Amino acid sequence: MKCPFCGNEDTRVIDSRPAEDGSSIRRRRQCDKCDKRFTTYEKIETIPVIVIKKGNIREQYNREKIEKGILASCHKRPVSIDTINQMIDEIETELFTSESREIPSNIIGEKIMEKLQKIDQVAYVRFASVYREFQDVDTFMHELQKIIKKHE
């Protein structure tokens, strides 16, 4: 592993343990040249998942796109970044353990909405309004009425 400080290629592992989420290994390393310490994470390499978007356009799965959408819907809401990361990890686990290597984007969107609805209903409505392309107030109100009925 190359040292991020001096570029030396000789580093050694000082400590190794599972990361908090259990899906990777956290390694504490020290450079043999400059003696500085740094942390690396080792993850299992997964087979790439292709997302089938509207218009049958295919692109490689990108975690950052999901994260960006969820962060926008949770803006100024009491949802921690740890909760968001856990939600994305759960969605990824579902996607990557499915037998299909090509997944329609609407499946991903529905999984996000399912998880958001359990965590924060305002964030859920925000995400749904963009994802489902609400065109007017009536569509928005219809979605809110569905949430209200679930709580009665």
Q: What is the pLDDT of residue 148?
A: 79
Q: Exposed (0-12), middle (13-18) or buried (19+): which is 47, by Cβ within 10 Å?
A: exposed
Work out the mean pLDDT of the chain and round it to a whole number: 89
- How far CA 151 is from CA of 80, 131, 145, in Å, comes to 24, 23, 10
Residue 59 to residue 40: CA distance in whole angstroms = 28
Instruction: Tell me how far apart the alpha carbons of residues 87 and 81 are, in angstroms, rounded to a whole number.
Output: 10
Question: What is the token pair recorded at 135?
Answer: 């065109």
Q: Among 64-78, 108-122, 135-149, whose mean pLDDT is lowest? A: 135-149
End-to-end CA distance of the chain: 57
pLDDT, residue 130, reads 86
Average pLDDT over residues 54-71: 94
Confidence of residue 45 (pLDDT cuts 50, 70, 90): low
pLDDT of 120 above 90: yes
Provide the pLDDT confidence category of residue 142 given band limits of 50, 70 and 90: confident
Instruction: State the Cα–Cα distance between residues 85 and 83, nearest whole angstrom.
Output: 6
pTM over 0.85: no
Q: Residue 9 pairs with which residues in a beta bridge?
A: none
